[in-house]
Structure 1
């Protein structure tokens, strides 16, 4: 049975590393892929993307989709057993910067929540927690924080497990899974 995880945390808190750890616990022979939402718009982002690519397991595919993650996931679910979606923060930013209204972004998040409920693939999702940070000084920053916070809530409600990363240490804040890991071993 497929499961879903949301890994939240601040910047450089270990979110992607935790997603990789969860992905590495899948049974041998499972086909894995990354759904990357980042766009290499500057040298810093290119360096980040390259660093993340170097950390990925050998043999895992990468699909890049900055806007329509649900459509990408629908296609990936027929080819892969496990998908790491990294990350919701950049996906929301891409939609917001494209000029999408908040309601459209929330509708897209609801579409993602519906996909999660279908359990067609084991899905590990990464996102930034923005509710505990500094109050954004601009209207654009405020709107983005509010939209991402709402998207995170919709996705968190849909997934089986939510973990919050602090200094590389995960704290489970929601767990609707039986006492098993991805391999099916009892805890």
Structure 2
């Protein structure tokens, strides 16, 4: 099962995803993808860590998520946007390479026999970015979100902390 959870910044995606994971599994895996780029970001990551209890198995991995074996587990991957940021900056202006590497990594992940809850940001809802770099990243993020959504069994959009289910092939709703 792949359940993609998307929404705007600070919409409540991570809290929703964490609560969902704990309702489905007593010992889920938290797969964190963010690099720490400044003190404010480090503090934000610490808030996320403190919110999770001892029932979580936490793994921090910036890019190569498939090197871990998640067979039989429920994995919360948080978040695709920060993960794509790592490819984006590591590959310079080669956005095709970033998308290819990320897609290949996701295919390896999704071939594992486990359940996924994946958090991402819906950047396209925020308006047109003010510069070329931000526009390139928004385009890249939109492409990877579409890639995951096509493979997902469920897609939920979080708006102001409230879930709106927009795809559920498990119940026949698409």
Above 0.5 in TM-score? yes
**TM-superposed deviation, 1:9:** 0.4
**TM-superposed deviation, 1:10:** 0.3
Gaps of 5+ in 2: none
**TM-superposed deviation, 1:157:** 0.6
2:108, 2:148 → 1: CA distance? 10
Determine the structure 2 residue equivalent to 1:58. 54
Count of residues in Structure 1 that have an aligned counterpart in Structure 2: 171
4+ residue runs over 6 A deviation: none
2:55, 2:25 → 1: CA distance? 14
Determine the structure 2 residue equivalent to 1:68. 64
**TM-superposed deviation, 1:90:** 0.4
Q: Deviations over 1:31-58 (max 9, x none)?
A: 4211111112211111111111112232
Q: Deviations over 1:67-93 (max 9, x none)?
A: 12233xxx2314x61111000000111
- TM-aligned CA distance change 1:27 to 1:37, over 3 Å: closer
- The answer as to whether partners of 1:116 and 1:159 remain within 8 angstroms in 2 is no
2:105, 2:21 → 1: CA distance? 19
What's the TM-score, normalizing by structure 1?
Answer: 0.84
1:45, 1:147 → 2: CA distance? 22
- The answer as to whether partners of 2:91 and 2:98 remain within 8 angstroms in 1 is no
Provide the aligned C-alpha RMSD in A.
1.8
